[in-house]
Structures are given as C-alpha cells and as structure tokens.
C-alpha cells in the first residue's frame, strides 16, 4: 500500500479517494503542467461604479427579415418577439434595471453596483446574448404562429461602461433618437414603394439628401399621412423596466358551517413592464426614480 502511494501521489486525486485518505486538496493536488495556459486569459473585469451596458444587434437581419417575410416598414410580430426575448433576459438577470430596444437591437443596463459574474464583461455579454437568442427561437411560434423558422438567428454583443447618470441617459437618448430617424425614413421609403408605385431604387433616389421636414411633407402632402399619428411603438421603440404591480387572484377557503367561499387576494410583486414612451426628456425619469443610482461614490 505504501508503495502504491509513493508511485501515484503526484496529482492523482482519484487514488486519494479510492484509498479513503483525507489529505487537504492543496497538499495533494499538484498543478498540471498544462495549467500555464491560464496565463493567456485577460482580466476583463468592468470598472466599478459604472453602469454596464450590453447591446445586442441582429447579424444579417436584413436578409433574415426578407427570408421570413417580415412586414414593411415595421412588423409588430417581430417587435413583440424582440420585447419578449428581452423580458426573458431581465427575468433571468435581475440586476438589469432598464432595457431599450428598436428594430433588431436591444440594450441592457446593469446597475452600477452590480456584482453579477464578478463584473466580467465576457460573462455578462455571453450570458445576455445566449439567453436572448435562445428566447427568440423558443418564443417564435408564439408570435409567428405556423410560419416556420427557417434557420436560427444570431446576435452579436458588445459591452460599454458609462460612469454617470447623464452619460447613461445620453446613451439611451441616442438610441431612441436613432429609432425615430430610422422609422421616419423607413415609413416614407415604403410608403413611396407600396402606395406611390416607386421601385426601391427610385424611392431611395427620391429620399436622397432629404431632411426630416421633407419626409414629413412627402407623407402628408402626397399620401395624407400625419407621421405624428404613427404608432409610438414604431417611433419610440420599446423600454422595459421593473415595476411593482398589484395582482388579484381568487382563492377558495373553507369556513366552519359555511362550506367553501371564494375570496379575492391582492398582492404586490415586481414585474417587467413594457413602455413605448419618450425617454429623452425628464418626465420618464422623474416618474421612475429607482432606475438610476446616485452619482455619489
């Protein structure tokens, strides 16, 4: 037995277990000669006291939307699926305080005090991306019915840090302003094609060099469309936040000499809610002061 120990002592923890020995791991387990490769790993811990934003973008979604016959200029089924997938991410990672999405992108904001995955950028990004992508596939039928998913979509992700509340608000304002610009263009473009009879090339040429006022004028004067009346979902995008909501359920209770009686029970719980509203101005942030954390370190 002693001979066996002397031969197999170097790093073979299986023998330690088989022989019923109780040596400490640090004294018995020798490092593998291959373990040096860990030195190639980079420290990607996100700076403390900063909001961590993970932004996802659909890869080749122009092709994906065409092959899956998305409606133009906006497909509410696809937008609903994007929002549902984002809600799945927030429900999995409760340190995400707000998420904003438009078209084929979504941004997830982790609170500045978050310690999820030890604030490692790669862990946060890959977890958000994989959860979102798998949810997109999982909930596809809920929004597209019997229309088949021809192939799985893919999303790429990036991580950006914002040190102050103003920086974070400006980032989200930038994304919502981008939503408005893109939607106005797409609305005018596809109106020229679908109602004006232009080809896509002709519509592109018609809109080349135009400003927002020009596009609004085309919609109103030629097609009697007031862009202000377009859906807030298309103009403002999707904002998801945590809110306290009251939920009422009916329960059956048994009372002496009275039999079973139905009573309504109301309880409050936190839930991810969706909004299509302005997040550039102050009103939204004043109504939801718990989203942002103090700028005081």
- Asked if residue 139 is part of any domain, the answer here is yes
Q: What's the structural domain count of the chain?
A: 1
pLDDT value of residue 254? 72
Distances, alpha carbon 27 to alpha carbons 11, 32, 90, 246, in Å: 10, 14, 43, 56
CB 77 within 8 A of CB 143: yes
Tell me whether residue 176 is in a domain: yes
Annotated binding residue at 32? no
- pLDDT tens per residue across all 297 residues of the chain: 444 444 443 444 444 444 444 544 444 455 788 888 888 888 899 999 999 999 999 999 999 999 999 999 999 999 999 999 999 999 999 999 999 999 999 999 999 999 999 999 999 999 999 999 999 999 999 999 999 999 999 999 999 999 999 999 999 999 999 999 999 999 999 999 999 999 999 999 999 999 999 999 999 999 999 999 999 999 999 999 999 887 777 777 776 666 677 777 778 888 999 999 999 999 999 999 999 998 775
Q: Which of 104, 100, 130 lies closest to 117, judged by CA?
A: 130
On whether residue 193 sits in a domain, the answer given is yes
* Backbone angles phi and psi of 100, in degrees to 5: -130, 135
57 is in an annotated binding site: yes
Q: Say what the pLDDT of residue 257 is.
A: 66
pLDDT score, position 248? 74
Contact between 227 and 184 (Cβ < 8 Å): yes
Question: Does 257 show up as a binding residue in the annotation?
Answer: no
Residue 104 marked in a binding site: yes
pTM value is 0.83
As a whole number of angstroms, the distance between CA 279 and CA 101 comes to: 12
Q: What is the CATH number of the domain that holds 56?
A: 3.30.70.3000
Is residue 101 within 8 A of residue 24, CB to CB? The reply is no
Q: Is 214 annotated as a binding residue?
A: no
The response to whether 294 counts as a known ligand-binding position is: no
Q: Is residue 226 one of the residues assigned to a domain?
A: yes
Instruction: Flag whether 59 is marked binding.
Output: yes
Instruction: Tell me how crowded residue 118 is: count the other CB atoms within 10 A of its CB.
Output: 9
CA distances to 142, 235, 288, 295 from 173, rounded to whole Å, are 31, 13, 16, 19
Is 286 within a domain? Answer: no
The whole domain housing 194 covers 51-238
Query: If you search the block for the tokens 């942030």, which residue do you land on?
Result: 285
Q: Note whether residue 218 is domain-resident.
A: yes
pLDDT at site 50: 96
Helix axis angle, 200-207 to 165-194, nearest 10°: 130
Residue 223 lies in a domain: yes
Q: Does 62 count as an annotated binding residue? A: yes
In a domain, 86, yes or no: yes
């Amino acid at each position: 037995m002693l001979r066996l120990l002397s031969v197999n002592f170097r790093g073979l923890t299986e023998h330690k277990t088989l022989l019923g020995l109780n040596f400490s791991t640090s004294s018995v387990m020798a490092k593998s000669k291959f373990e040096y490769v860990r030195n190639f790993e980079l420290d990607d811990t996100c700076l403390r006291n900063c909001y961590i934003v993970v932004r996802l973008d659909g890869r080749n979604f122009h092709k994906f939307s065409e092959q899956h016959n998305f409606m133009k200029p906006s497909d509410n089924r696809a937008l609903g699926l994007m929002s549902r997938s984002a809600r799945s991410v927030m429900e999995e990672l409760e340190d995400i305080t707000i998420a904003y999405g438009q078209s084929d992108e979504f941004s997830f904001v982790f609170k500045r005090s978050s310690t999820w995955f030890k604030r490692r950028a790669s862990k946060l990004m890959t977890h958000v991306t994989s959860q979102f992508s798998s949810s997109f596939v999982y909930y596809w039928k809920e929004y597209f019915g019997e229309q088949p998913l021809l192939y799985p979509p893919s999303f790429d992700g990036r991580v950006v840090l914002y040190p102050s509340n103003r920086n974070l608000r400006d980032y989200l304002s930038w994304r919502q302003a981008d939503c408005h610009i893109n939607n106005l263009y797409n609305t005018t473009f596809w109106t020229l094609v679908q109602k004006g009879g232009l080809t896509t090339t002709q519509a592109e040429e018609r809109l080349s060099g135009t400003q927002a006022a020009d596009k609004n004028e085309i919609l109103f004067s030629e097609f009697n469309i007031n862009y202000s009346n377009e859906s807030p979902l298309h103009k403002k995008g999707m904002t998801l936040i945590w809110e306290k909501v009251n939920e009422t359920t009916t329960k059956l209770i048994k009372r002496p000499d009275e039999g079973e009686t139905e009573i309504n029970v109301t309880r409050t719980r936190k839930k991810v809610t969706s909004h299509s509203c302005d997040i550039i101005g102050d009103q939204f942030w004043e109504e939801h002061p718990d989203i942002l954390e103090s700028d005081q370190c």
